């Protein structure tokens, strides 16, 4: 069955990209072939891409931007079309960047960032040793560059609550295809997968669920979805991520953010970067909190938030990674929103280990446009039973003490789970790293 990410599910009998991915879960080596096939179809079948983009009842502006958009990167020649193919195709992508820069459609800083990303992604995917890795690089980067260029030509504006863009282009599956080849599934693990199934049941019953977790890389939402896709695909498609402004303003990051459900906020870490914008940022955060409260009142909401206010960083003296400390006020705000939603609510501590996929800069940077490193590595995701505020704070003498105690209880659980994932992945203990509180498995096997 042909894959057409831009085609309507009912159009000429094509199976939709979204539904096909559900039927064929991504997994260690299967992910590579599925990624290449799907992305190659998008690169090669340019006529159906244009035709499909007119078949949706989207705004005329959206249709026009797709139809009038430069085809430079989708015109890159693929492996089947050329002899000595990889070298020529690789060169086509780089020359395409230069062509768009010289035409004035790509700012020089964006062009240089795209080229740097290309080489880093290429080296990471090729290091996996997966069959057809060179073709994966060409097909995935062709589409990634095409989306980045479209974002420069016709910048996308994120609302306080952004719903994942699935049509006319399925950004959700695009991100999966791009991130999947970077994950070493043989050395990846999920902790307590049965709890994920439990919270999925609660969501279907109308309950709200909040995941309090650490945050390691721009790939975190995709890692969550991919590691749970075989057993709990509902979670990946319905999770709403509380996202900082940097992932919705950086032109190299925006196409990946468009494929997620986001509640957009300004991080405390960057609140005072520009004193003139502080008031605007605070008002924007207030609007986002109102959107979140409205969502929670409707029930069946799954929200992921990293109350550290940003990504983890390694200890400068040891180089060891660890979950960044939580901001107790952020945890408490989230708890109160859940408690006042009117629907039953649950807060679970969740831990992520995936910094090697896309490690952040060593220090927090003020400027947009960070250097993007990319790697092929094992990843980990774990969840622990929900933590009750009343149970943890029963002996606290005042609200501030209770707030700190609850935040620390959640952090302690996240940190303990992280240590188990670190033992399994980085110390290569695998399933044997399981503990009495964290049962590791590989649901895709």
Of 45, 92, 134, 154, the active-site residue reads: 154
- Rg for the chain, CA atoms, rounded: 22
Is 154 among the catalytic positions?
yes
Closest to 306 measured CA to CA, from 215, 204, 227: 215
Q: Are strands 345-353 and 380-383 parallel, antiparallel or unpaired?
A: antiparallel
The set of residues, in sequence order, having a beta carbon less than 8 Å from that of 359 and lying 6+ positions away, is 217, 373, 375
Dihedral class, residue 234 (left if φ above 0, else alpha if ψ from -120 to 50, else beta):
alpha
- State which H helix or E strand residue 244 sits in: strand 239-244
**Strand (E) positions, 291-417?**
302-305, 345-353, 380-383
Tallying the residues shown for the chain, one arrives at: 445
Q: Please check whether residue 33 is in contact with residue 19, taking contact to mean a CB–CB distance below 8 angstroms.
A: no
The set of residues, in sequence order, having a beta carbon less than 8 Å from that of 2 and lying 6+ positions away, is 14, 41, 45
Q: Would you give the DSSP letter of residue 409?
A: H
Residues noted as catalytic: 154
């Amino acid at each position: 069955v042909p894959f057409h990410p831009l085609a309507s599910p009912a159009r000429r009998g094509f199976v939709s990209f979204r539904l096909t991915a559900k039927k064929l879960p991504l997994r260690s080596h299967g992910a590579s072939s599925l990624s290449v096939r799907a992305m190659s179809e998008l690169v090669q079948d340019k006529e159906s891409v244009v035709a499909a983009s007119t078949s949706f009842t989207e705004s005329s502006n959206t249709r026009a931007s797709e139809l009038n958009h430069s085809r430079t990167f989708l015109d890159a020649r693929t492996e089947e079309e050329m002899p000595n193919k990889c070298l020529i195709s690789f060169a086509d992508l780089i020359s395409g960047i230069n062509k768009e820069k010289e035409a004035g459609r790509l700012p020089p800083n964006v062009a240089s960032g795209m080229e740097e990303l290309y080489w880093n992604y290429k080296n990471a995917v090729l290091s996996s040793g997966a069959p057809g890795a060179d073709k994966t690089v060409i097909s995935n980067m062709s589409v990634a560059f095409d989306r980045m260029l479209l974002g420069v030509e016709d910048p996308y504006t994120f609302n306080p609550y952004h719903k994942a863009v699935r049509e006319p282009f399925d950004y959700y599956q695009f991100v999966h295809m791009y991130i999947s080849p970077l994950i070493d599934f043989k050395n990846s693990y999920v902790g307590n997968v049965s709890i994920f199934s439990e919270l999925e049941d609660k969501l279907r019953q109308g309950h709200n669920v909040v995941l309090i977790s650490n945050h390691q890389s721009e790939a975190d939402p995709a890692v969550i979805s991919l590691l749970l896709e075989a057993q709990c695909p509902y979670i990946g498609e319905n999770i709403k991520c509380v996202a900082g402004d940097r992932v919705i303003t950086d032109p190299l990051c925006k196409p990946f953010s468009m494929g997620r459900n986001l509640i957009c906020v300004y991080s405390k870490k960057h609140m005072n970067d520009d004193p003139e914008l502080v008031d605007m940022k605070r008002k924007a955060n207030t609007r986002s909190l109102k959107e979140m409260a409205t969502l929670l009142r409707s029930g069946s909401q799954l929200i992921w938030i990293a109350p550290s206010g940003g990504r983890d960083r390694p200890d400068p003296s040891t180089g060891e990674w660890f979950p960044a400390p939580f901001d107790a006020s952020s945890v408490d705000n989230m708890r109160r929103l859940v408690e006042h939603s009117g629907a039953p609510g649950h807060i679970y501590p969740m831990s992520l280990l995936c910094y090697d996929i896309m490690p952040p800069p060593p220090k927090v940077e003020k400027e947009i446009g960070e250097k993007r490193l990319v790697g092929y590595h094992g990843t980990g995701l774990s969840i622990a039973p929900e933590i009750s505020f009343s149970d943890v704070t029963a002996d606290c003498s005042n609200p501030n003490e209770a707030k700190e105690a609850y935040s620390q209880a959640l952090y302690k659980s996240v940190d303990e789970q992280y240590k188990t994932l670190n033992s399994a992945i980085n110390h290569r203990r695998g399933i044997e790293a399981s503990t009495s509180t964290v049962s590791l498995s590989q649901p895709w096997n």
